[in-house]
Structure 1
């Protein structure tokens, strides 16, 4: 079976400055892989390159074995790539229900509204509420639900636990683990190393735009203090 997502020797620049330097990684179906690194290491740039929002200068990106390097972002989305950005991408004037019914939905892959409501009962309760009136944690759940509703087979999540209350961080973790059981692959940028270890199968350590190590959870636990020091946390 092909990897859900594969990057081979991907580089990217901002003007003359190199942001990514020959990054190679893979995420299998039903796997969560995290990108960990200091601020400025290139984590968000990598997600933007995968989504087609930032141009790569070299390398290849494949989705389920299909080359997508030259495709526009909207075409990547229709092939099953979904993004939960760090600002959540929520439209404050739209209701919860509108967020979940207006986007293009792949009927073969997308979660039904019934399934969304079963997984996110809080969103079912607040389906008529404008997104502007949701808490930060509720908006994060809505951003995750929207990607699943659209039928994304690969989710790109940028700091989903940032700024959330512990109970909401726990709920985000539950959602990511449930998505895994349904074969969804997740590439997760996360500074909260302890949270990442509860949901991820593999961790890529990014330093100055390069993947310098690939670690499993046992290695993360054994080297937690060292890694936190390297991350400046």
Structure 2
């Protein structure tokens, strides 16, 4: 589905990523864990075409997308959920969902969105800026699914949220997976990552240091936590 091959990227003369390669299969949830400053967000921006200073290849369904602008990648099925959520504060929930054009091949109908996110259905007339942090995160996820993304690029979706909301975000990611959506998830919370993911990549100093199947997390937990500084 999504493959990143030997991607290097930086800011000016400072190189942040050094030959990073990873893959996300159809209907697979893969987490990218690592300390702050390891280059995780930069990698998502490279995949989405928002970081021009990069080398390497990004392919989707075997087709090269590395030379395409972000809106063309969105039409191919990539969808970014940024760490700042990026919702329109002055627009209602429903306007946030329906205003962005449907670009992917498999958009979620509004009815499915509201079935999956009942809190958004209840607040459909609320301005986005009046929602809680957890509700804004759900809106950011829902908007990308509504637009037809087949691969979600999620940057720290649980950061700063109450445990009950974190649990709901996990349920939503698992439901999206059941509908065939693939997810590349940046996550600091190893427990949450373990609850949703099939595989994990550890990014350390701009390089992939480990690839761990979810079934092997327990036996390699000390190694992962040592890299994460926990």
Mapped partners of 2:176, 2:81: distance in 1: 14
1:10–1:56 contact (8 Å) kept in structure 2:
no
**Per the alignment, do residues 72 and 107 of structure 1 end up closer, same or farther by CA in structure 2, a change over 3 Å counting?**
closer
Query: Following superposition of structure 1 onto structure 2, how do residues 208-219 of structure 1 map, counting pairs within 5 Å?
Result: 208-219=205-216
* Cα deviation, residue 107, structure 1: 7.5
Please show how residues 1-233 of structure 1 align to structure 2 within 5 Å. 4-106=1-103, 108-233=105-230
Equivalents in 2 of 1:106, 1:55: separation in Å? 22
Cα distance in 1 for residues equivalent to 2:105 and 2:40 = 31
- Distance in 1 (alpha carbons) for counterparts of 2:6 and 2:25: 18
Give 5+ residue unaligned stretches, structure 2.
Answer: none
> Aligned partners of 1:57 and 1:135: how far apart in 2?
36
Q: TM-score, normalised by structure 1?
A: 0.96
Deviation at 1:150, TM superposition (A): 0.4
TM-score, reference length from structure 2: 0.97
Query: Is the 2:11–2:53 Cα contact (8 Å) retained in structure 1?
Result: no
RMSD over equivalenced CA pairs, Å = 1.1
Equivalents in 2 of 1:196, 1:14: separation in Å?
Answer: 29
Where structure 1 has 5 or more consecutive residues not aligned to the other structure, the ranges are: none
| Contact residue 90 and residue 143 of structure 1 kept, 8 A | yes
